[in-house]
Amino acid sequence: MPAIGIDLGTSNSVVAVYRRGRPESLPVQGQSLMPSCVAVKPGGGLLIGIQAKTRSLVEPTQAVLAIKRHMGDREHRVELAGQSYSPVDISALILQKLAEAAQDQLGEPAGGAVISVPAYFTNNQKEDTRLAGEKAGLRVLGLVPEPTAAAIAYGLNQGKDQTILVFDLGGGTFDVSVLQVKGNNFEVKAIGGDHALGGEDFDRRLIDLLVRRLRNEGGLSSNAPEAEIRLLNAKLKEVAEAAKKELSVADAAEVTVPDTRGALRVMRITRAEYEGEIRDLVEKTIVATLETLKRARLSADDVDRVVLVGGSTRVPLIARTLAERVSEPYTADNVDEVVAHGAAIMAASLSAVAEELAPIEVTNITAHSLGIQADKDRFAVVIPRGTKLPAQAVKTFTTARDNADRTDVVIFQGEDEKCNNNRQIGGVGLTGIARAPAGLPKIDVTFSIDADDVLKVTAADRTSARTGEVVIERFTPKPYQPGPDRNLKDLQSLRFGVSGVGCDNAGMVLRGLGLSSRDIEDKDFRRAAVLANYDVVFINCMADSTQLYGLGDSINPELNAPALQEFVSRGGVLYVSDFAYGNISVPFPGKIKFGERFQGVAGTATATVADPDLRALVGPTCPIEFNLAYLPALSARSDCRVYLTRGKEPLLISFPHGNGHVVYTSFHNSQQQSEKAQQLLSYIILQTIALAANTPLVELVESNNLRDTNRPRRG
């Protein structure tokens, strides 16, 4: 049973096999390239390939093109004939069609398949490609980076050592890889590219040019129906693809363009005009190529051969610019098929069917840096981009807050200094850290990644010997969420302090949530050493009666301010309700602007829910009860998070200070009676707790022990 190689492309896909000492493409529907398109039949059912592409020109809303650009996005869905499909589903249909065509040509089912993926694909994109293959009924022998596959097809059995730069510009993705070839050993030295740049973008520029001309010539009405615009775009895409091919061999192309009035217009496009439209896109590929060479610690003079791969490399501007800025490129035969040919060679090597094929050794590297989220959203890299696989590295971190006993080790991949701009790929919770002042605990975070890109992350506290571990094989793009057991442990281990009851009773709300708290005496709010024994402190509204009636100094904001500032700065969370507002305005001046006493409107009010998480729980509005003695918060500074409003008046606010947070509600929690308001109240308290339920880490020791555990491997 022969194994096959598949190039699952954005625009077109190819299936190939290695036999009789060479790779060859297998025809699908009579052609070597099959459009990566799925469409709805006029009478129902689905079309795949050439017929689907034809159908897309008539009913563009009933067809799916370029689904590869959405691989890895588990939220993306497309609707066809009333049914919802994921990118994995659509890709599986395309792969199944290729496998069926291969079976027809070979006379038996394939014994396995190697599928190519862009070198710049993230782990979850790779995993979704593997899932699509399995869903199509294929035994996936492995995934191979597209440039590596091209290098194998070009460099196999060449009989000389060489450095190859593969410039792979397909329909939807751009990859550039630098490989050193020694015999049949292919070592990837650096990877670069852009998974959202390809021939589809070149087509879009031509379409935009044609649309501008139609508008100028009156062939496109400004108020044309959306359905007409969609149909016109589908037709213009076909025109643009034909023009692009003609401009690759000629100085000008004449195209017939339909307009929205039913007329046909003949337009002439010169190569110079086309190149002017795409010059910035070509420049992006050159910049990425030079950056990749730099990461490989090579110059253009060190490259023995630049190999062009992918149909979009037929654009003359690309070869000309590469010759000027890098080196004269070599255009492989059948640039659209060479990746599938390399995948077929890999498949034959892995399946051991082709006895005459010498073993192929491929050494891959990480396409993205891997690390964790440290304090202040900093991306702490543990395994840098370009590290040989397999590899292992350890970095040591400490806690950013005093007496922390828990943290989340949240794992990202990317190159930005801020985690928020990178891709989150998983996480692990670590509880039971030995409580100590910030900076003393030592938490070792170990990343181990094998040759198949399976990542294992372990976090271990040296003092308590507590560990947490996660294996990331099938990545999910959803943010890491601690499990219910972890949450329960965290909430139970937090230390809650509550002021006297007054008109509010935060302690009652905590008990309703199954949590215990301790009362804090009035005098202790001015003692930092006492507050240091708590993670969350609640000050009920009437606990500070001086601000309402002037009846004494039960909790005096002036005296409390230094201790409260220190408590929050060191990582504590302070919850203040209504008339205890002085405990915000004095220690944290300027954050919230308050009105006058008794100025607010009492009674039931309808609050607008501004926070999306809260809106998902209680809906867009919520009833709030206000006491007769009500003081409004007039405004909040821009660094505050506002959850609830009444008109422009913020009702529920939080803001960061130092390593901690402050939460303020302008209403009494004990007065909320309706079921919806009770839900809201539980949410407020839980959100307050959540701000204290995790301790960010700080990188303590720079890693100097990145271990290259690389071993040459077959495949």
**pLDDT tens column, 620-640:** 888 887 766 567 888 988 888
| pLDDT value, residue 6 | 97
* pLDDT at residue 712, as a whole number: 39
The pLDDT assigned to 396 comes to 93
Residue 131 has pLDDT above 70, yes or no: yes
Instruction: Judge whether residue 694 has pLDDT over 60.
Output: no
Active-site residue, 7 included:
yes
Q: Which of 53, 68, 97, 395 is catalytic?
A: 68
Query: What is the average per-residue pLDDT within 140-163?
Result: 84
pTM of the entire predicted model: 0.62
Distance separating alpha carbons of residues 449 and 176, to the nearest angstrom: 23
Confidence of residue 192 (pLDDT cuts 50, 70, 90): confident
Which option is the CATH number for 370-488+697-708: 3.40.50.2000, 3.40.190.10, 3.40.50.12780, 2.60.34.10?
A: 2.60.34.10
Distance between first and last Cα of the chain: 19
With residues binned 3-state (H G I as helix, E B as strand, rest as coil), the percentages for the chain, rounded to 5, are: 35, 30, 35
The pLDDT, as a whole number, for residue 551 is: 43
User: Can you read off the two tokens belonging to residue 356?
Assistant: 């005459």
Q: Using CB atoms within 10 Å of the CB of residue 106, give its burial: 0 to 12 exposed, 13 to 18 middle, 19+ buried.
A: middle
The answer to whether 101 and 61 are in contact (CB under 8 A) is: no
Could you tell me which residues are beta bridge partners of residue 143?
A: 115
What average pLDDT does the segment 255-266 reach? 78
Rounded to an integer, the average pLDDT of 565-576 is: 87
If phi > 0 it is left, if psi is from -120 to 50 it is alpha, else beta; for residue 454 that is: beta
Beta bridge partners of 64: 38
- DSSP annotation of 31 reads B
Q: How many CB atoms lie within 10 A of CB 322?
A: 22
pLDDT of residue 702: 42
Q: Tell me how far apart the alpha carbons of residues 284 and 303 are, in angstroms, rounded to a whole number.
A: 20
Convert the pLDDT of each residue in 404-438 to its tens digit. 777 888 899 889 999 888 888 888 888 778 878 87
Strand partners, 459: 445, 468
d(CA 181, CA 187): 6
Q: Which residues does residue 482 pair with via DSSP β-bridges, in sequence order?
A: none
For residue 146, indicate whether it is catalytic. yes
Nearest to 341 by CA among 104, 133, 29, 32: 32
Closest by CA to 143, choosing from 108, 117, 173, 105, is 117
Residue 352's pLDDT band, with cuts at 50, 70 and 90, is: low
The full set of domain ranges for the chain reads 4-198+278-363, 370-488+697-708, 495-692
Q: Look at the block and give the residue holding tokens 């009105």.
A: 595
Query: Is domain 4-198+278-363 in CATH 3.90.550.10, yes or no?
Result: no
Q: What is the pLDDT of residue 667?
A: 79
Active site residue 24: no
Q: Is 604 exposed, middle or buried, given 0-12, 13-18 or 19+ CB atoms closer than 10 A? A: exposed
Question: What pLDDT was estimated at residue 356?
Answer: 59
**Widest CA span of the chain, in angstroms?**
98
**360/356 Cα distance (integer angstroms):** 12
How far apart CA 209 and CA 215 sit, in angstroms, is 10
Outline where DSSP puts E strands in 513-627. Answer: 518-519, 536-539, 573-577, 592-594, 603-609, 621-626
CA nearest 135: which of 98, 108, 103, 95? 95
Superfamily of domain 495-692: Class I glutamine amidotransferase (GATase) domain (3.40.50.880)
Q: Which of 89, 127, 128, 168 is catalytic?
A: 168
Q: Provide the 8-state DSSP code for 671.
A: G
Find the catalytic residue in 127, 146, 504, 535: 146
Residue 66, burial from CB neighbour count under 10 angstroms (0-12, 13-18, 19+): middle
Question: Is 60 exceeded by the pLDDT of residue 176?
Answer: yes
Q: Which positions ≥6 away from 508 have C-beta within 8 Å?
A: 670
Residue 353: pLDDT band by 50, 70, 90 thresholds? Answer: low
CA distance 499 to 488: 24
Distance CA 357, CA 497 (A): 72
Q: Is the pLDDT of residue 554 over 80?
A: no
**Residue 488 pLDDT:** 47
Mean pLDDT of 263-290: 93
Q: Coil, helix or strand for 617?
A: helix
